[in-house]
Structure formats: structure tokens, C-alpha cells
Amino acid sequence: MKKLKFSTDEFVLGLTVDEPSLFLPWSLMEKDLPELLKGYKYEKVTDHYYYARSVTLFDKQLHGDIGFHFNWHGKLEMLELNSADIDYSNEAALFRSFEKVQKTLEKRFGKPSKLASILYFFTKTNRHDKEYVWKFKKVKLIHTIFDRFGMEEHLMICIKDAYETLHYRKI
């Protein structure tokens, strides 16, 4: 894997959010989220899942929303990053967005550890389905595009301790 371009591998301890200025440690507990996001608008979507809008990441290169997934013990298990400006009804725009995000990730983290066509629990696969994975000590960064009920793009950061709790697919 290509050496990272910044002096400290931020993925050792957590994720730096440019705007609002936050540091999200991989050890984050659900009970600590309100204090961490104090003064910033976020919402509880369901038990153990919260959503914050309008964040900027990776030296202000990615803009969107962030979902916080906690396990039943209250430990952070995954961050889900969604681009705020994707029009999911426009496949061409979605593919352009996917390529732009992928270039940003590769510029920052180097080539992914793994590139593969992905299989979900669906009987049909699409030749456009892609999955890129960067493996770090405590997390995996996963960037995917796939056809479920139309094309979808996902950018997830999965905490190593929580890999086994992700039921919808093996990571």
C-alpha cells in the first residue's frame, strides 16, 4: 500500500471531520455522542443510529452527511458517509460522483487494498458493481457502487471490532 501523504495516519485513532471541526475516535461510545456533537445539529434515526448533515472530510474534498452506527453495547461499529448532492435517479451522475469520490480516496490513501465485483444477497449481479477496500489497523474503508433497487453508492468506515456484527454481508 502506498504511504499516506500526511504525517500521522489519522485512521489509527479515528476520523477527522473538517467542517464542523470534529475528531471521531474509533472508540466512540453512543453515550458520548451528544457531548461530542454539542452545538451541531444531528438526529436519532433509530436505536443506535444517528445522522448528521453537511459535513466535510478529507481536506474539504468530500461533502455530505454522516451516519453513526453503534452496536447494542453502545460502541461505534460503522460510519456511513453519503454525498449530499447525488441524484440517485440519474445513473450517469451517480457514476461520475462515484469516480470523483474514488479519485479523492486514492489521492489521499493510495490504491485500495482490494478491488472486486461484489455479490450481495441478490440473485442478479450488475457488471457495474464495484467494491474498493482500504485496510487499516483498526478500520476498513469501503467504497461501493451496486444495483439493488437502482444504482447506489456507499462509503463506509467499519471498525475492526465490529466487523462480525455486520449481518448484511461479509467484509
Q: With respect to residue 28, please indicate whether it lies within any of the assigned structural domains.
A: yes
Domain span holding position 55: 14-160
In a domain, 20, yes or no: yes
Cell numbers describing residue 81: 458517509
pLDDT of residue 141: 92
Total number of domains in the chain: 1
Identify whether 117 is part of a domain.
yes
pTM (2 d.p.): 0.80
Beta-carbon contacts of 140 under 8 Å, excluding residues fewer than 6 positions away, are 133, 134, 157, 158, 160, 163, 171
pLDDT digits (tens, 9 = 90+) for 40-66: 989 999 999 999 999 998 888 888 999
C-alpha span between 48 and 45 (Å, rounded): 8
Is 9 domain-assigned? Answer: no
166 within a domain of the structure (yes/no): no
134 within domain boundaries:
yes
Question: Residue 130 domain-assigned?
Answer: yes
Does the residue 99 lie in any domain? yes
Task: Check residue 152 and give its pLDDT.
Answer: 84
